[in-house]
Amino acid sequence: MTRVHDMGGRFGDGPIVPDADGAPVFPQEWHGRALAVTLAAGFLGQWNIDISRHARERLSPKDYTRFSYYEKWISALADLLVEQGVLTLADLKGAEQEGPHPLASRTLKAEAVSTALSKGGPADRPSNVPVRYEIGQSVRTVHPASNRLVDGGHTRLPAYAAGAEGRVLRVHGTHVLPDSNAHGLGEAPEPLYAVVFAASELWAAPENPKDEVVLDLWQSYLEPS
Amino acid sequence: MAQPAAMPHDDHDHPHALLPPEPALRVKALETILTRKGLVDPAALDEIIDTYQNKIGPQNGARVVAKAWTDPEFKRALLEDATPVVADLGFYGRQGEHIVVVENTPAQHNMVVCTLCSCYPWPLLGIPPGWYKSDAYRARAVREPRKVLAEFGVALPSETAVRVWDSTAEIRYLVLPMRPKGTVSLDEDALTALVTRDSMIGTGLPKVPS
């Protein structure tokens, strides 16, 4: 039903180790390299952000757990490059292929980096799906937290918040639906809301009765309550 | 464009296994393959690293916070619709296309996490620190934020409600911490120096003037 990346609320992870003041952004040189290669490859335009997130989530539970953060990035990138037909398995094995790559005209050049990064990629889109809920309205999330379009597919409803009753806090407008966009099924924009849940709605033993958790949830993740 | 993937690819011999297992070598191998095919420009990679190592970081968010502490009209606009307001200061771009700023008060403390991955407001805070991306923070911040805060040395009164924002969409949250006491005489630049990265994630509080 869920994948290993969906870890909100999980027990057993131990203490958090805050970093020291002035700790380096990239503790190892290859961390920065992994980030940069991943971003640069993204500019080839062969996938969207939802496809690339899903590629990391689809690492086997064993790999997801044992890989460090940027190992997940670089390994998922290699998988994606092959799946999307940019590279072949022979390329990854190091077998030379002669001739220019058909996508080489799209390569991100050094002088274009600043503009490309500052341009961003907004996720809001016009949509003809009517806004169904208003601020203050009670809603309930669907249960189970699964992609309804593709079995085992990408979704952004965490398991810990499935089947829970909350209240609409903000209406964010209409945004690309990851459950569709991660699978090449179109952007399918629909209303997106910030929904607030009492901690006692989510956890058996909340730390404080006043505490709350807010999630950004698409309209199709919600039912009237 | 490659064929749409209607099914998740759960094949168990993932292509990445063909690359060297040691992570630094794995990155190097993939960079080399892509460079040889003309698909990445190593100088562009240097430029990306330089951007996030030296140019974009929590100093950006700190400017926003200090300005909000000193300029009530700016603060009002920021809380109403932050994206154009921070863009006017030059802070816009990848992983910061939709910014929402949430204000701490004596009654409510805000804290940000991404339980599903590592979403974070890059143009305002840069690349997230290791702990933000750790399993422990992702797993625990939503269920036991007060224990997590204690590990950062923050103890909140029980009258203060904790509201944890799980960044599940492309909205990126920045916490506006409370202005520390004893800072009435400080100008915007001096206030900026008090704003820590963690205070804008909600796992810390601003520094107090010495």
Active site residue B118: yes
Q: Where residue B11 falls among pLDDT bands split at 50, 70, 90? A: low
Record the tokens describing residue B181, joined without a space. Answer: 């006491």
pLDDT of residue A1: 58
Q: CA A21 to CA B76: how far, in whole Å?
A: 31
Q: Does B164 touch chain A (CB under 8 A)?
A: yes
Element at A90 (helix H, strand E)? helix A89-92
Residues of A in contact with B136 (CB under 8 A): 13-16
Other CB atoms within 10 Å distance of the CB of residue B174: 28
Q: Is residue B169 part of a domain?
A: yes
Give yes or no: residues B80 and B144 share one domain: yes
> Cβ distance B27 to A68 under 8 Å?
no
Residues of chain A under the 70 pLDDT cut: 1, 98
List pLDDT tens digits, range B164-186: 999 999 999 999 999 999 999 99
Q: Does A169 touch chain B (CB under 8 A)?
A: no
pLDDT of residue A57: 96
Give yes or no: residues B68 and B130 share one domain: yes
- State how many domains chain B has: 2
Q: Measure the CA angle with vertex B60, ends B56 and B62; round to 5°.
A: 140
* Nearest C-alpha neighbor of A66 from the set A4, A154, A19: A4
pLDDT of residue B12: 55
Give yes or no: residues B152 and B80 share one domain: yes
Pairing type for strands A190-198 and A212-218 reads antiparallel
Contact across the interface for A40 and B27, Cβ inside 8 Å: no
Catalytic residue, chosen from B114, B185, B199, B210, is: B114
Instruction: Name every residue whose Cβ is closer than 8 Å to that of residue A7 and which is 6 or more positions away in sequence.
Output: A13, B115, B135, B138, B139
Contact across the interface for B29 and A94, Cβ inside 8 Å: yes
Q: Is residue B87 part of a domain?
A: yes
pLDDT of residue B110: 98
Q: Does A198 touch chain B (CB under 8 A)?
A: no
Please state, for a pLDDT cut of 90, what percent of chain B lies above it: 92
Element at A167 (helix H, strand E)? strand A165-175
Q: B7 pLDDT exceeds 70?
A: no
Contact map slice: A 73-102 vs B, CB within 8 A: 74-79, 81-87, 89, 91-94, 96-97, 100-101
Range of the domain at B131: 58-201
pLDDT of residue B9: 56
Give yes or no: residues B84 and B143 share one domain: yes
Q: B87 pLDDT exceeds 80?
A: yes
How far out from the chain centre does Cα A100 lie? 32
**Three-state secondary structure call for residue B180:** coil
Give yes or no: residues B75 and B170 share one domain: yes
Q: B5 pLDDT exceeds 80?
A: no
Judged on CB neighbours under 10 Å (0-12, 13-18, 19+), A177 is buried
The lowest-confidence range among A2-6, A179-183, B41-45, B118-122 is: A2-6
Contact map slice: A 125-144 vs B, CB within 8 A: none
Which domains can be identified in chain A, with CATH numbers?
29-119 (1.10.472.20), 138-224 (2.30.30.50)
- Whether ipTM > 0.90 holds is yes
Cis upstream peptide for A18 (omega within 30°): no
Provide mean pLDDT across the span B7-24. Answer: 80
Please give the full DSSP string across A204-217, using - where no structure is assigned.
SS-S-TT-EEEEEE
Q: B3 pLDDT exceeds 60?
A: no
* Nearest C-alpha neighbor of A162 from the set A58, A11, A59, A9: A9
